[in-house]
Chain A
Amino acid sequence: MNASYSWLKAYVPDLSCTDQELFDALTLSGTKGETWSRLDKNLEKIVVGQVKEIKPHPDANKLVVCQVDIGSETIQIVTGATNLFEGAVIPVVLAGGKVAGGHDGGPLPENGIPIKAGKLRGIDSNGMMCSIEELGCDKNLWPESNPEGIHIFSDPLPEIGSDALEAMGLRDALFEFEITSNRVDCYSILGIAREAAATFKLPFVKPEVKFTETDVKTSDLISVEVKDPDLCTRYCARICTDIKIEQSPKWLRDRLRSCGIRPINNLVDITNYVMLEYGQPMHAFDLETVSGNKIVVRRAADGDKFTTLDGEERVMDHDVLMICDAEKEIGIAGIMGGENSMITDDVKTVLFEAATFNGPNIRKSAKRIGLRTDASGFFEKGLDPANAEAAINRACALVEELGCGKVAAGMVEAGAPLPAQKRIKLEPERINALIGTSIDRAQMIEILKREEVPVDEATDEVIVPSFRQDLNEMCDIAEEIARFYGYDRIPVTLPKNSATVGGLSWKLRVEKELRETARFQGFSQAFCYSFESPKVFDRLRIPEGDPARNAITISNPLGEDFSIMRTLSVNGILTGLALNFNRRNKDVRLFEMGNVYIAKSLPLTELPDERMQMTLAFYGGGDFFDMKGVVEELLESVSLLSGSVIDKPGEEDMVPYLHPGRQAVICIGKEKAGFFGELHPAVAADYGIKTRAYLAVLDLPVLYDKAGFEHKYTGIAKFPAVTRDISMVVPSGIPAGDIEKMIRQRGGKTLESLKLFDIYEGEQIGEGFKSMAYSLSFRNKEKTLSDDEVQGTMKKILNGLSGMNIELRS
């Protein structure tokens, strides 16, 4: 919402603070200033001058030499402008002054353009006559000014030698405020002025609305019927006769301009002025185009076509509210009038409409039709029905004041009854208890009265004015008190309640531990989106009909690429890996923690299972067994390694985006907890990762319950260990895991550790065999092991090996 200082001051006459003070103080009392700027920024030494004489330049046929009276003296200025005449009154920047912009209308330079005395083609020129854009003004706001030439003052002519900026209404500042959705009343100059008055504790002076009504009765000229009072809460109509369309007076044009509105003619300007001043959009119909002297407010029929006054034909539906006459539709309620009832310069009698409509309906209609206007922007906030009457009367008063026409007697209205006046108990103790202050009752009443919220002191009730529909209960009153008392004056305390013990939930603690472990393994944390493209499944070679394809779909996504909630976590990290590969980053290790979203059934009727996944991926500097080590460290960090089994996956557990011969499944107890392996070469190629990459996924919900951080000391062995190495020839098909499992089983309690120290496949070993060597360490915690005991255990192990067709190497 834009408001100029001068316009606010019109209703707070004693306002005397600086622009910055106004901006800061309103921000602190709840009307947040976004920006402010001076309209006279970079304009210096600019006075009103009058051209006395124009003579051709002796050496340049495109230039003229002017003698310009600037009050105190007459100066000579050389110009190329072609719209000057002797007697023209114009703004003149004197030598040593500054203008805001160039005459080409380009962007304004930060520090303006200094003007110096000089010679133009050998002739002295002691200043410059200014065009509207050189004065930093938007030419669209100055239709009366020729943008190609010098700005020429018209009626009323300012005094020669006086301040030209004052004369043009540029000694002003424009503020932009952010208005919160609850404060509909502040989408108006009057609303902001009311806030300013309360903030600075100054009187608020509303505009005086008075006019004389003629003998013509409005009700003889028009009747109003509202068929859908749920969508049109109030419709006020007034009629002005004897309309004369002309330019608005300067003060009105300047006010509109100060807020960035282009002046058009008196009638249009009045409706725009009232819209800004009261926050109530109005519409003016040419009464001659309204057939049957009747206004009907009703819903459109589906498929109705209607041409708005911008000349566009638009298609309506049943939820769009229309303004109609006895025969036809003449406007889309709250959005835009129709071409068929448009005001022309020949208008004689005007029908003013000030109405209030259902805000959400206007918002949705404007969106469906694809036509969002200034008016709809106001109506969608849900306007005060009482304000409609005040605004239409203000418009009529301006019609009279401007000599634009005569006001017919009486207002015709229809709609729902006005809402009953609300009263809220004033409870100073509860208010103080809520905000932590000790403001006394009298001070509270004073604060409320200053912002025009009266208190009935007999009943101790706040009387809520119609424009403050946001006030409903004690806490709302508390906010009013708090913000005008000053948020900055409220004390700073800490809750005095019983002490509580804070901490992370168990789930978050497990995640934090895993994050740290990943970090110590050289993995950096990535963040990926939760939504992705359904094409991901094909890229990851997920078969048709696989449950992973049952993804939850967003009904209004940003695009197909963000349209499904991910059921697999790997696409994000692979995309990250590919980006790094493309950018030639070396040895990249990434991990991510994020949810996948598993629907219990589709279409979704209940909340899905959100499963936190820890996903790790790397390329460069490692292989499958490095990833296996990372996985084991992760499991170890939450005390789950000893209960885990890492094994070759069965057919049903094969992951299609991993290399079929280089993947493993992770189980904790009997439950599947994740998998890892080398990325399938076809998938790697599809993502543009032109090297081997490795991937691991842990399904964290399986880990949470089983994870632990308990540690127990078991004593450091006092008795010596006995080691035995075995070297063997193993058929290639037997996995090391099977051999180790057997050795562990047969090794029993005394087998302390088992370590593969050599593996070889090649010429010295026969085709179809591999050589493996293990170092076994035995220890008894209670006593020194005897050779016989070790021999006995070794014999069991060797028997086990030969049972697996494994021969010892000599």
Chain B
Amino acid sequence: MIKDSLDAIRKKALEQIAAVEDAEGLNDIRVAVLGKKGELTSILKSMKDVSPEERPAIGALVNSAREEIERVMDEKKKRFDQAVMDARLRAEVIDVTLPSKRSVLGHLHPNTIALEEVERIFIGMGYEVVEGPEIEKDYYNFEALNIPADHPAKDEQDTFYINGDLLLRTQTSSAQVHEMEKGRLPIKMISPGRVFRADEVDATHSPSFHQVEGLVIDKNITFADLKGTLDDFSKKLFGEQTKTKFRPHHFPFTEPSAEMDVSCFKCGGKGCRFCKGSGWIEILGCGMVHPHVLEMSGIDSKEYTGFAFGVGLERIALLKYEIDDMRLLYENDSRFLDQF
């Protein structure tokens, strides 16, 4: 009799499970059949009415019915879970081509980017980065650099004066003198900074701009070392394929002096509009430190030699980043700055 009820319960449960369409319905069946007050549970409760001899057999039957129902239910549940997951994933499809949400980073000024490149290269070669004052004594900007009182470079046309003795430095070369006066040798330094010239603002001029000065002083420093150092620098800054060309020039504070051109990084030296057809671009001035300059700063020019160079930061920035108007560098339009 119990066996019949058991069969009936099992059959009905299996049919219901087969027919159920959602997890809730399945749970209702679970409660109705296997719950505390469920049909199968009540059969177990009626076991007390079964004779002791029959109990093991009936017990086994009940357990097997329970196991079968549970197994089928679990299978069904897995299918429902899978369906729910599938539905969720389907519902959650997004358009990945919609715009991103970036945290907005700022941008360094092209001058700074260029300067950091220059610094990185020279620091790698063992150079210290030091600074000098922007308002300077005449002595440091001119006299100690072998530029005598009547030199045309001192003309008011080029230099902003505060008074007879103080001026806005026209070149970072003044920092050379401060470094040499410290009396620590050897010297291997670069000195970036702001300089001033009395030029009206236009596409290629600004009354204030930036230079990076370089100075090396030691025993046995040669012009060949100058060439090697700047050739290395140019290759690191503009690419390994870059060639350099040194042309004789004149600066009061170096002798011999040179200007350095690099092969045009736009056309590789074939000649283009960028390099005005010459294949070369003028980058910097350099030379062997003039013995007068060494002696004035207390360095024995018989024992020590050195080289110096000066490069315009804006010039590098304009060339490298192909900026066609210097005024953009000082306008601070975010549409310009955000490009770097």
Contact = CB atoms under 8 A, between A and B. Distances in A.
A29 interface: yes
A594 B112 CA distance: 12
A487 B247 contact: yes
A527 B133 contact: no
Given A434-B288, A595-B134, 12 more contacts: A181-B250, A435-B223, A436-B222, A487-B246, A493-B224, A499-B126, A505-B131, A512-B116, A519-B105, A531-B207, A589-B106, A597-B135
A608 B166 CA distance: 10
Interface in A27-45: 27-30, 32
B160 A554 contact: yes
B127 A502 contact: yes
A555 interface: yes
Contacts of B162: 552-555, 604
Given A502-B123, A554-B161, A583 B333 contact: yes
Interface in B231-258: 231-232, 245-250, 255-258
8 contacts: A433-B220, A478-B255, A508-B131, A519-B107, A520-B105, A528-B332, A552-B162, A554-B161
Interface stretch (A3-11, A408-416, A556-564, A759-767): A556-564
B255 A180 contact: no
Contacts of A503: 123, 128-129
Given A580-B332, A590-B332, A610 B150 contact: no
B309 to A, nearest CB: 13
Interface in B136-164: 136-137, 150-152, 155-156, 160-163
B54 to A, nearest CB: 58
A456 interface: no
A478 B256 contact: yes
Nearest to B125: A502
Interface in A333-362: 359-360
Given A492-B231, A494-B229, A530 B194 contact: yes
A526 B109 contact: yes
Contacts of B48: none
B338 interface: yes
B280 to A, nearest CB: 10
Contact of A608 (B105, B135, B200): B135
Contacts of B135: 552, 565, 597, 607-608, 610
Interface of B: 103-109, 111-112, 116, 119, 122-131, 133-137, 150-152, 155-156, 160-163, 166, 168, 186, 188, 194, 196, 198, 200, 207-208, 216, 218-225, 227-229, 231-232, 245-250, 255-259, 288, 290-291, 305, 329-335, 337-338
Given A482-B248, A525-B107, A496 B220 contact: yes
B291 A524 contact: no
Interface-centre pick from B186, B196, B246, B332 (highest chain A CB count, 10 A): B332
A591 interface: yes
Nearest to A606: B166
Contacts of B109: 524-527
A504 B229 contact: no
A504 B120 CA distance: 10
Contacts of B246: 487-488, 490
A525 B106 contact: yes
A282 to B, nearest CB: 23
A-B pairs with lowest CB-CB distance, top 3:
A436-B224, A436-B222, A30-B248
A502 B120 CA distance: 10
Contacts of A496: 220, 225
A476 B335 CA distance: 50
A101 to B, nearest CB: 22
A280 B259 CA distance: 29
A608 B119 CA distance: 27
B337 A497 contact: no
Nearest to B223: A435
Contacts of B130: 505
Contacts of B218: 495, 497-498
Contact of A479 (B131, B231, B256): B256
Interface string A514-553: 0100111111111111110000000000000000000011
Interface residues of A, number: 90
B221 A580 contact: no
B154 to A, nearest CB: 9
Contacts of A497: 186, 218-221
Contact of B255 (A479, A495, A507): A479
Nearest to A497: B218
B247 A30 contact: yes
B159 to A, nearest CB: 8
Contacts of A608: 135
A503 B126 CA distance: 7
Contacts of B128: 500, 502-503, 505
Contacts of B216: 495
Interface in A440-465: none
Contacts of B188: 495, 500, 502
B256 A435 contact: yes
A188 to B, nearest CB: 17
A360 B126 CA distance: 43
A502 B124 contact: yes
B315 to A, nearest CB: 15
A512 B119 CA distance: 12
A518 B104 CA distance: 11
Nearest to B249: A180
A186 to B, nearest CB: 11
A363 B149 CA distance: 13
A519 B106 contact: yes
A316 B109 CA distance: 51
A585 B334 contact: yes
Interface-centre pick from B220, B247, B338 (highest chain A CB count, 10 A): B247
Nearest to A501: B126
Nearest to A526: B332
B307 to A, nearest CB: 9
Nearest to A575: B332
Contacts of A554: 160-162, 168
Contacts of A436: 222-225
A519 B108 contact: yes
A492 B228 contact: yes
Given A565-B135, A590-B334, A482 B256 contact: yes
B207 A558 contact: yes
Interface string A419-431: 0000000000000
A29 B249 CA distance: 9
B134 A610 contact: yes
A803 to B, nearest CB: 43
Nearest to A583: B333
A311 interface: no
A650 interface: no
A607 B166 contact: yes
A531 B206 CA distance: 12
Contacts of B337: 524-526, 590
Nearest to A32: B247
A556 B248 contact: no
A270 to B, nearest CB: 30
A182 B247 CA distance: 16
Contact of B291 (A475, A494, A529, A562): A475
Contacts of B220: 433, 496-497
A483 interface: yes
Interface-centre pick from A476, A490, A565, A597 (highest chain B CB count, 10 A): A490
A32 B112 contact: no
A433 B222 contact: yes
Contacts of A499: 126
A445 B202 CA distance: 48
Contact of B333 (A555, A585, A595): A585
A134 interface: no
A183 interface: yes
A648 B127 CA distance: 44
A683 to B, nearest CB: 18
B232 A494 contact: yes
Contacts of B129: 502-505, 508
